């Protein structure tokens, strides 16, 4: 991996691509559609042509640039060290600033991001309309189309919006301990769809003896806006997040969302700098970001599930999917594996292509659900072939998409869990046999109680 200092990457760096084609071998989109527009090589060629004013930034150029999961596999594989990921983001920015975003996309962006408030509002309204946007609505009723919501594509299975959002329930200093002061960056998915995951995180962090804070006014990390080319919006979000987290004088900031983590670690530095924030303040924020796996791994025994290691029929067989934005972008691969492997009653079974993208890619899965499904089918095939009863991963977006894929392919019996779900459940549920079905979060108190007693 060569993600050294990339702040200086410019749009015209596309011409450093020598067109060898190596990146196509690892591109999930190219795997589904073997045309040049799918892979990074073709995208570099188009960006180069635009930068040389040979073609316009309209029509298909835009469509082709957006046919990308931003999974970073090309970037990692490129033998010529072409920073494809950054170049593609720059190209999107340029496109957005020039001719404006495509209507669909800007709609999503407006709903999702204009300001955190807008998003909250959109989602809240969504909750009241919830009954109208899922599969149970007969397609023929026409209702589906009448209430299009930003995150919902066609016929996919989406999680229910949470009854109570995470940052509504928890805000401020929620746990007081003797250890370091740890802030939780929830991220939108955790906040709006999987608040129990956030609760689990609070429980686990608290179990290490740390104080836990959930800065209440935190907003989306801004990744969807960044991939949509709206750099200015993300800058504002970054400044707001910096402000709310600074107040708590934290020792570290953890997140359970791979994408948020990657964004906060990689992009916030340059973004905050652009916003005129002094270096020391930037450093005081960015250098404290940890993925929850890194945190728990470093925290050690307090959150490990003790007991006898069992194999075979006795054990819960799980496999692990490496989220692109955690494994590849943050190079956090060993920590989740070590955490799972150390767990009593759990057996980690290998999965082929464990680090190949699940096909989610943010708004990609909305705009290109057909390709996204195909990429996802390959992931599902590998999961099923692993023989695991549950697939564990570390990003709520992956969880959403993989679950959708498993259900779509008739494998709804395979559970999809966040690493923290698994640990929380194991800590709170030390019974010898593990029930996959009906696995639910056990409540912060319970987890801490149990953890304290082990």
Partner 1 sequence: MELKGLGSKTREKIRRIVGSDNCSDRPEDLYLYAFDAMNRRFLPEMVAHPADASQISSILKLANADGFPVVPRGAGTGLTGGSLPVAGGLILTTSRLNRIIGIDRENMTAWVESGVINGDLQAEVEKQSLFFPPDPSSAKFSTLGGNAAENAGGSRAVKYGVTRDYVMALEVVMPTGEIIHTGSAAMKSVTGYDLTRLLVGSEGTLGVITRLLLKLIPKPQAVGSMLTSFPEVRQACMAVTNIMTSRIVPSTLEFMDRSAIDCVKDYLDLEIPSEAAALLLIEVDGPPGVVEDQVAILENVCREAGAILFQTASTPEERESLWKARRSISPAIMKIRPLKINEDVAVPRMKIPDLIQGVEEIAGKRDVRIVNFGHAGDGNVHVNLLIDPEDKDEVARAHTALEDLFKLTVSLGGSLTGEHGIGIAKAPFMYLEVDKDTMDVMRRIKRALDPNNILNPHKTFDYEPDIADREIRAPDA
Ligand X SMILES: Cc1cc2nc3c(=O)[nH]c(=O)nc-3n(C[C@H](O)[C@H](O)[C@H](O)COP(=O)(O)OP(=O)(O)OC[C@H]3O[C@@H](n4cnc5c(N)ncnc54)[C@H](O)[C@@H]3O)c2cc1C
| Residue 363 binds ligand SF4, judged by CB under 6 A | no
Decide which of partner 1, ligand X, ligand SF4, none touches 46; Cβ closer than 5 to 8 Å per partner kind: partner 1
- Taking contact as CB under 6 A, which single stretch among the options 202-210, 216-224, 346-354, 412-420 is the one that binds ligand SF4? 216-224
| Residue 46 binds partner 1, judged by CB under 8 A | yes
CA 181 – CA 212 distance, rounded (Å): 6
298 CB-contact burial (10 Å; exposed 0-12 / middle 13-18 / buried 19+):
exposed
Binding mask 56-75 for ligand SF4 (x = CB under 6 A): ------------xxxxxxx-
Number of residues that bind ligand SF4 (CB under 6 A): 36
H or E stretch at 254: strand 252-255
Nearer Cβ to ligand X, position 22 or 110?
22
Binding mask 391-410 for partner 1 (x = CB under 8 A): --------------------
Q: What are the b/e assignments for 44-60, b being 16+ CB within 10 Å?
A: bbbbbebbeeeeebeee
Decide which of ligand SF4, partner 1, ligand X, none touches 375; Cβ closer than 5 to 8 Å per partner kind: none
Decide the pairing of beta strands 289-291 and 346-348.
unpaired
Decide which of ligand SF4, ligand X, partner 1, none touches 312; Cβ closer than 5 to 8 Å per partner kind: none
| Residue 22 binds ligand SF4, judged by CB under 6 A | yes
Nearest partner of 290 among 204, 228, 231, 217, judged by Cα: 204
Nearer Cβ to ligand SF4, position 208 or 330?
330
| Residue 55 binds partner 1, judged by CB under 8 A | yes
296 three-state secondary structure = helix
Nearest partner of 245 among 283, 208, 217, 274, judged by Cα: 217
Decide the pairing of beta strands 211-214 and 172-175.
antiparallel
Cβ of residue 22: shortest distance to ligand X, in angstroms?
6
Q: Which of 1, 20, 99, 139 binds ligand X (CB under 6 A)?
A: 20
Q: 396-408 vs 369-386: helix axis angle to the nearest 10?
A: 80
- Residue entry with tokens 């946007």: 133
Q: How far is CA 16 from CA 55, 77, 119, in A?
A: 18, 15, 39
- Taking contact as CB under 6 A, which single stretch among the options 101-109, 185-193, 327-335, 414-422 is the one that binds ligand SF4? 185-193
DSSP state of 417: E
Q: Which of 1, 21, 139, 173 binds ligand X (CB under 6 A)?
A: 21
Q: How far is CA 253 from CA 209, 215, 434, in A?
A: 15, 10, 31
Q: Locate 236 and state its tokens.
A: 């504002």
- Taking contact as CB under 6 A, which single stretch among the options 26-34, 238-246, 303-311, 379-387 is the one that binds ligand SF4? 26-34
- Residue entry with tokens 């299009």: 148
Cβ of residue 33: shortest distance to partner 1, in angstroms?
9
Nearer Cβ to ligand X, position 21 or 216?
21
Q: Which residues pair with residue 211 across a beta bridge?
A: 181
Nearer Cβ to ligand X, position 22 or 130?
22
Q: Locate 137 and state its tokens.
A: 């609505």
| Residue 182 binds ligand SF4, judged by CB under 6 A | no
- Taking contact as CB under 6 A, which single stretch among the options 19-27, 70-78, 100-108, 427-435 is the one that binds ligand X? 19-27
Within residues 243-262, the interface with ligand SF4 by CB under 6 A covers 257, 259-260
75 three-state secondary structure = helix
CA 277 – CA 153 distance, rounded (Å): 38
- List residues near ligand SF4 by CB under 6 A: 17-23, 26-29, 39-41, 44, 68-74, 78, 80, 82, 84, 187-189, 220-221, 223-224, 257, 259-260
- List residues near partner 1 by CB under 8 A: 16, 18-22, 24-25, 34-37, 42, 45-46, 49, 52-56, 59-61, 64, 79-81
């Amino acid at each position: 991996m060569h993600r050294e200092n990339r702040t200086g990457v410019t749009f015209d760096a596309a011409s450093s691509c020598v067109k060898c084609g190596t990146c196509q071998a690892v591109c999930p989109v190219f795997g589904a559609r073997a045309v040049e527009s799918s892979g990074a090589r073709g995208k570099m060629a188009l960006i180069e042509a635009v930068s040389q004013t040979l073609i316009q930034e309209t029509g298909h150029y835009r469509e082709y640039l957006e046919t990308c999961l931003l999974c970073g596999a090309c970037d990692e594989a490129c033998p010529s060290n072409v920073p494809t990921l950054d170049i593609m983001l720059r190209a999107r920015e340029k496109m957005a600033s020039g001719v404006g975003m495509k209507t669909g996309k800007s709609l999503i962006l407006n709903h999702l991001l204009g300001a955190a408030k807008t998003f909250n509002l959109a989602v809240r309204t969504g909750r009241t309309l919830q009954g109208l946007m899922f599969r149970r609505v007969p397609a023929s009723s026409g209702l589906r189309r009448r209430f299009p919501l930003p995150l919902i594509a066609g016929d996919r299975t989406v999680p229910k919006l949470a009854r109570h959002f995470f940052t509504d329930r928890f805000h401020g200093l929620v746990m007081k301990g003797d250890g370091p002061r740890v802030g939780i960056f929830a991220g939108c998915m955790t906040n709006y769809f999987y608040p129990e995951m956030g609760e689990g995180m609070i429980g686990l962090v608290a179990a290490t003896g740390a104080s836990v804070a959930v800065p209440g006014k935190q907003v989306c990390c801004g990744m969807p806006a960044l991939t949509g080319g709206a750099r200015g919006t993300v800058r504002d979000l970054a400044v707001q997040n910096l402000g709310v987290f600074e107040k708590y004088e934290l020792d570290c900031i953890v997140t359970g969302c791979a994408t948020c983590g990657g964004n906060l670690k990689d992009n916030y530095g340059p973004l905050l700098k652009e916003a005129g924030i002094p270096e020391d303040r930037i450093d005081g924020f960015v250098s404290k970001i940890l993925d929850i796996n890194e945190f728990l791994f470093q925290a050690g025994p307090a959150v490990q599930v003790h007991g006898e290691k069992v194999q075979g029929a006795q054990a819960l067989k799980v496999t692990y999917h490496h989220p692109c934005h955690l494994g590849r972008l943050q190079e956090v691969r060993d920590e989740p594996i070590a955490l799972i492997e150390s767990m009593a009653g759990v057996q980690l079974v290998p999965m082929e292509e464990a680090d190949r993208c699940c096909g989610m890619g943010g708004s990609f899965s909305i705009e290109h659900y057909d390709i996204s499904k195909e990429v996802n089918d390959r992931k599902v095939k590998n999961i099923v072939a692993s023989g695991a009863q549950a697939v564990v991963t570390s990003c709520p977006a992956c969880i959403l998409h993989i679950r959708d894929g498993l259900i779509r392919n008739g494998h709804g019996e395979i559970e999809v869990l966040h690493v923290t779900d698994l640990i929380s459940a194991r800590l709170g549920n030390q019974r010898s046999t593990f029930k996959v079905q009906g696995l639910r979060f056990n409540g912060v108190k319970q987890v801490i109680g149990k953890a304290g007693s082990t």
